[in-house]
Amino acid sequence: MKKLLSISVFLVMMAIATGASAQSKEFKAAKSLDIQLSILRELSMLYVDSVDVQKLVRKGIDAMLESLDPYTVYIPEDDEESLELLTTGSYGGIGALIKKDGKSIIISEQYENSPAAKNGLVAGDTIMMVDGLSTESMKVDDVSAKMKGKPGTTVKFIVNKLKGPAGVELAIARERIHFSDVEYSGMIGDTTGYIRISGFTLGGAKDVRKALMDLKATGKLKRVVIDLRGNGGGILDEAVEVVSLFVPKGTMVVYSKGKLPQMDMKYYTKEEPVDLKIPLAVLVNSSSASSSEIVAGALQDLDRATIIGTRTFGKGLVQSIRDVGYNDKIKLTTAKYYIPSGRCVQAIDYSHRNPDGSVGYIPDSLTKAFKTVNKGRTVYDGGGVTPDVAMKQEQYSRAAVSLVYNDILHTYSVKYYKEHNSIDSPEKFVLTDAEYEDFVSFAAGREFDHRTATEVEFDQLLSLAKKEGLYDGIKDKIDSLEKSVKLSKSEVLRKNKGEIKSLLEEEICNRYYYQKGRIASIIRNDDVLQAAANAVFVN
């Protein structure tokens, strides 16, 4: 009896403690919110300068969410268009990118078959007025907002044409601009099909299915390369549907585990496959994240594809979009996902990542081994998907990166487009030596950081030598070394001609053949893709 009484007392005490704990938690939250409101009230009434309370609250919300993880974010009503683009790959507008050049707003790119392209807008055209307003004092975001809007409505421009007269009046009807998840598809060589997938937006898997069916219809297809490099992810269901193209219907692709039971879900393929036997390779790199890691990891775990490239980003978190009132939303992390072997691709911690944000070094002691479903091959967790065939990720020179960052390649491509009515197809177009020398002369007169990595290290050595009082004693040696490592802009451009020339050719092809032309140009010099085309695929 005493024992039963003791147990009863214990259970009552536990219930009281649990209730008290819950009440304490709720009280602390309410207290914090009350204090925050009081602080905002005091600032609004008494702060010496005017206070934008809404701006303060937004900063507070952003800082609060940032402390959790990089993917939990607040989405106010005025960012709804960005959310639509993220989830559907679509928005209402004219289909053009713009940039600021001095005081001018310039078209930097127009999309194929867009209202902008149909109305003759090209990169290099200058927008003087939009809907009756001069653009001279407008910001890029302000002009961009004017260009976007409900499909079927009209926006008016006055434009100075790159290849034509000034003061041209245009009235362009906005349309629903959609970016297909399939950036490019076609045959690489005689028998290898290639599909490049840029994201996973609503309905995007149907684009992939169509691309695969079109390749099969050639009658030449003997193996397929799926390119997920640079693919940052998207809608989970679309990723599952892409996997369904190659595995039996009803295959479990991924499952999620969250704080609440309703967040625990298993995702199975629902569609009939297109081909269960064709050899398949998937290309990945450190920018392949989230849903693209599900595709690559699931196909690896199911022993259905050879994964080629570098370890993926390491984002194994599921985000849900929730309403928070007043048409505002929050995208928050609600679960982790696990691929068929049982491993999670989420990086072990956020703090030890590479400069590009991808998974950093992971000690073997922190990783756990898993087995693939069909062949029992060993795979590991710890962050990202480790490829079956490792390839070195391409590293561009400092000069090449600086040329891109400072828009010099783009600016020269516009100049080239103005001076040449047409070029060869992207698969064949190459700059002559004389044309590259023209670019060297053009770029040498522009501002960009042309220092080599060696020169950067030398500058640091020189600074340190002066700081420690060693410079005077080794001045002659330093001066001699400086002459060897410091190159002029022209010398650097010629030294790195191979990679810079390829990047420039890609940019020029984009002017004439849009984004597909750029990718077709990239393919010619893509060592990883060429290696994949010759790899031994899993089938």
CA distance 230 to 214: 24
Helices (H) and strands (E) in the chain — how many of each?
16, 21
The predicted pLDDT at position 5 comes to 44
Token pair 């069916």 in the structure block, residue: 213
In this prediction, residues 526-539 reach a mean pLDDT of 75
pLDDT confidence bin for 51, thresholds 50/70/90 = confident
**Res 9 pLDDT > 50:** no
CA distance 18 to 65: 27
C-beta separation of 537 from 299 below 8 A: no
Measured over the CA atoms of residue 164, residue 165, residue 166 and residue 168, the dihedral's sign is negative
CA distance 74 to 332: 8
In this prediction, residues 493-503 reach a mean pLDDT of 96
- Distance of alpha carbon 191 from the chain centroid: 30
Catalytic position from the list 290, 291, 292, 521: 290
Q: Tens digits of per-residue pLDDT, 257-283?
A: 988 888 899 999 999 999 999 999 999
Q: How many CB atoms lie within 10 A of CB 397?
A: 17
**Catalytic residue status for 290:** yes
**Res 348 pLDDT > 80:** no
**Res 382 pLDDT > 80:** yes
Mean of per-residue pLDDT scores for the chain: 89
The predicted pLDDT at position 186 comes to 95
Q: How many CB atoms lie within 10 A of CB 452?
A: 18
Catalytic position from the list 181, 227, 301, 381: 301
Q: Tens digits of per-residue pLDDT, 398-443?
A: 999 999 999 999 999 999 999 999 999 999 999 999 999 999 999 9
The predicted pLDDT at position 358 comes to 74
pTM (whole model) above 0.75: yes
Which residues contact residue 302 at a Cβ distance below 8 angstroms, ignoring those fewer than 6 apart?
243, 247, 251, 340, 372, 373, 374
Instruction: Tell me which residue of 228, 247, 225 sits closest to 536, measured CA to CA.
Output: 225
CATH of domain 90-178: 2.30.42.10
- Distance of alpha carbon 39 from the chain centroid: 39
Domain boundaries, the chain: 90-178, 182-393, 398-452+487-530
Q: Tens digits of per-residue pLDDT, 64-104?
A: 998 888 888 888 877 766 666 667 778 899 999 999 998 89
Helices (H), 244-305: 291-301
**Catalytic residue status for 489:** no
**Res 357 pLDDT > 70:** no
- Beta strand 154-160 pairing with 126-130: antiparallel
At residue 228, φ and ψ (nearest 5 deg) are -110, 15
The 8 Å CB, 24+ separation contacts for 457-465 are: 458/482, 458/485, 458/486
CA distance 538 to 281: 7
The predicted pLDDT at position 366 comes to 79
The CATH homologous superfamily to which domain 182-393 belongs is: 2-enoyl-CoA Hydratase; Chain A, domain 1 (3.90.226.10)
Measured over the CA atoms of residue 116, residue 120, residue 123 and residue 125, the dihedral's sign is negative
**Report for 158-162, 321-325, 532-536: range of highest mean pLDDT:** 158-162
User: Is it true that 90-178 and 182-393 share their CATH fold?
Assistant: no
Share of the chain above pLDDT 90, in %: 62
